Amino acid sequence: MRRLSRMQKILISLISFFLVLSCLMLSLRQNTISDLGYSAWTYIRYGLFESPATSVSNALTDFSNLWHAYQDNVYLNEQLANQRSYQTLYAQEHNRNLELQGLLELKNSMPEATQISAQVLARPGQTWNQTFTVSAGSASGVEEGMAVASAYGLVGMVSEVQTNTSTVTLLTSNELPNDFAIQISMDDGSTVEGVFQGYDAAANRYEIRLFDHEAVVLPGQKVATSGKGGVYASGLMVGTVTGTVMNDDAVVSTVYASPVEDISGFSYVNIFSKGTPAP
């Protein structure tokens, strides 16, 4: 066999080198094109499908979370409103129980007096300090002139009687039909007597006339009905002395007294028969 010359060997080596290099370049080019194609498809798939789907899913999740938060907020507001309602109802029931307990104690402290229990049905705003209506009338034995007391003491007198209801005129009214006898308990255990004269709305106090001008009446002493004259039952709290004024004739003196506590906020009363003897 004919041996290759040196030049031929060199040419063959160069041709082989370039063939290998060409194959490598072609392989790299195909991989680059493939990578570019893959990247382009990835971007298209992400932009047209995956990203919108993810955005919609996130939006639905956010909406669901917001809806649940809204529902929770509505529920909590309802619970808070119910709690406030329960607190109001509890306070009302608590006050009602205290009031009824006070009336029961008043009734037990005066067992000799005939008492009729009643509920306040109406107290018009325009005559708030004048009259109110109670749920007891002639069918229950109520008569005009009977004393009406809340759990704290005397608040008025029956002025009109119907079959099942009655109208009560408050002691704070300017149209109280009758004066009535009172007594003030002194520190030494004695009592000083007088007459209830009326109510001073500007000063929010009762005016009482005493016939013993030498009696020393001090603020803080208690004023109650005496039962004399047959108008009111005896021993019903009227108010508390706040001051005195000596009249010019030096025969009678004027005593000022504050009304009993909560004269405007009661819901239940006891109606007392007239002229009950003092215990």
Domains of the chain: 110-279 (2.40.10.340)
pLDDT for res 160 = 93
| Burial state string for 169-196 with b = 16 or more CB within 10 A and e = fewer than 16 | bbbbbeebeeebbbbbeeeeeeebebbb
* Calpha distance 220→241 (Å, rounded): 5
Convert the pLDDT of each residue in 126-156 to its tens digit.
777 888 999 999 999 999 888 999 988 899 9
pLDDT for res 277 = 43
For the record, the structure tokens of 107 come out as: 């009734």
Q: pTM for this structure?
A: 0.63
DSSP 157-201: EEEEE-SS-EEEEETT-TT-----EEEEE-TTS-EEEEEEEEEET
pLDDT for res 211 = 78
pLDDT for res 60 = 73
pLDDT for res 276 = 47
The low-confidence residues of the chain, meaning pLDDT below 50, are: 1, 32-36, 38, 276-279
Contact status, residue 251 vs residue 266, Cβ threshold 8 Å: no
* Calpha distance 240→184 (Å, rounded): 9
